[in-house]
Amino acid sequence: MELSPTTQKYILHWGEMGTRWGVNRTVAQIHALLFLANEALTAEDIAASLNVARSNVSNSLKELQSWGLVRITHVLKDRRDHFVALQDVWAIFRVIMEERKRREIDPTLTVLRECAIEGEQDAAIAPETLARMGEVLAFLEMLSSTYSDYKNLPPATLQHMLSMGGKVAKFLSPEDKPGKPNKPGNA
């Protein structure tokens, strides 16, 4: 597959961003290539297009499949596996958010909950330290709960909510407007 200069730039940048998000560069580049491709690609096509080793492509495709971002498809009269990426930006966002929550937030919440329980019995821990641990736990539980509330909303609803941006804050907490002290009765 011949890549235009703009497509190359997009794929290279996606790889750079992937490394900043903790994703292997090649994995991110393959995801970008498959997302932009107008047809299913074989591993050989991917290796040739990105000039990476076939073994690296295989491992990267397995990683993308484990995330649910890429799937195998078959082409008539071709015994090789072909690969396609999710094309819906909202579906991609949901998959990535769900996987990151499952892989990162959920295990952290488990440990923080254990620490909260154990901390109550730990005479060597200062009350202020335990309180800070509790604040982090409460914050992550709130984020997790909020994510659970929003994850099944239709994309149009999410898009509308996101487009509203900070306008919602004006209705929820008028006393928190810039330049005004945060006092009761300051509406």
pTM: 0.78
Does residue 48 contact residue 57 with C-beta atoms inside 8 Å?
no
> What string of pLDDT tens digits covers the 187 residues of the chain?
789 999 999 999 999 999 999 999 999 999 999 999 999 999 999 999 999 999 999 999 999 999 999 999 999 999 999 999 999 999 999 999 999 999 999 999 999 999 999 999 999 999 999 999 999 999 999 999 999 888 888 989 988 888 887 787 777 765 655 555 555 544 4
List helix spans (H) across the chain.
5-20, 25-36, 43-50, 54-67, 89-100, 106-121, 127-150, 155-164, 167-172
